[in-house]
Amino acid sequence: MQDINELKAVELLKKYARDLNSLNKVLAHSRKVQEIALRHAVEIPGADVNFIRSAALLHDIGRLVCSVSLRHGIEGAEIVRIEGIDERYALVCERHLGSGINREDIREQRMDLPDKDYMPVTIEEKIITDADNLTFGSREGTMVEVLNRFQKELGKKGVERAKRLHEEIIEMMDTPAR
């Protein structure tokens, strides 16, 4: 399994883009996610900043090949695995949707996803997921905007999950290195 850098991540996005418009849209969004994630990561002890730099760019690669928004994480993870890239990148793709999706969500809402948990686990997955939540297209939004969007799209459970994740990131940023 190979690790990748920022340049290789952009090359992969170009490889899978159907057209220049979709590439530009995904790249602009991913660059804003990267900016927010890196701003947070440098303040969190133990966060792998180099990994975040390239993983944030790849988190939405599935959007380039998938028309069903819910499945873009699965499709992105598949691309990453086919390309022989380190599994950590695939897991970011799978686990960044909303603030994570668990088996219970899949069953209750009859989601078209394989029956397993897609919850961010590592510090890096959580940082990228939170940064993605804060990104509206290529614009950084506020937590109020995130919670309003999640209320409409995911309901109370989604709001609570997004709030908890964001609070966890803020708490990690406030914790001094040991």
Helix (H, G, I), strand (E, B) or coil at 15: helix
Q: What is the pLDDT of residue 176?
A: 60
Per-residue pLDDT of the chain (178 residues; tens, 9 = 90+): 677 999 999 999 999 999 999 999 999 999 999 999 999 999 999 999 999 999 999 999 999 999 878 899 999 999 999 999 999 999 999 999 888 888 988 898 888 889 899 999 999 999 999 999 999 999 999 999 999 988 888 778 888 999 999 999 999 997 665 4
Q: What is the pLDDT of residue 178?
A: 43
Cβ neighbours for 106, distance < 8 A, ≥ 6 positions apart: 113, 115, 116
* Helix axes 49-58 and 20-41, enclosed angle (nearest 10): 150
Looking at domain 6-174, does it have CATH number 1.10.3210? yes
- Compute the distance between CA of residue 164 and CA of residue 7 in angstroms, rounded to an integer: 33
- Compute the distance between CA of residue 84 and CA of residue 49 in angstroms, rounded to an integer: 21
Exposure string for 81-104, b = 16+ CB within 10 A, e = fewer: eebebbebbbbbbbbbbbbbbeee
Rounded to 5 degrees, φ, ψ at 126 are -65, -40
The tokens describing 66, both together, are: 């998938």
The residue type found at 108 is E
The tokens describing 164, both together, are: 């908890």
Q: What is the pLDDT of residue 69?
A: 83
The tokens describing 44, both together, are: 């969190």
- Compute the distance between CA of residue 122 and CA of residue 100 in angstroms, rounded to an integer: 12
List the chain domain ranges: 6-174
Q: What is the pLDDT of residue 177?
A: 52
Residues 86 and 2 sit within 8 Å (Cβ to Cβ): yes
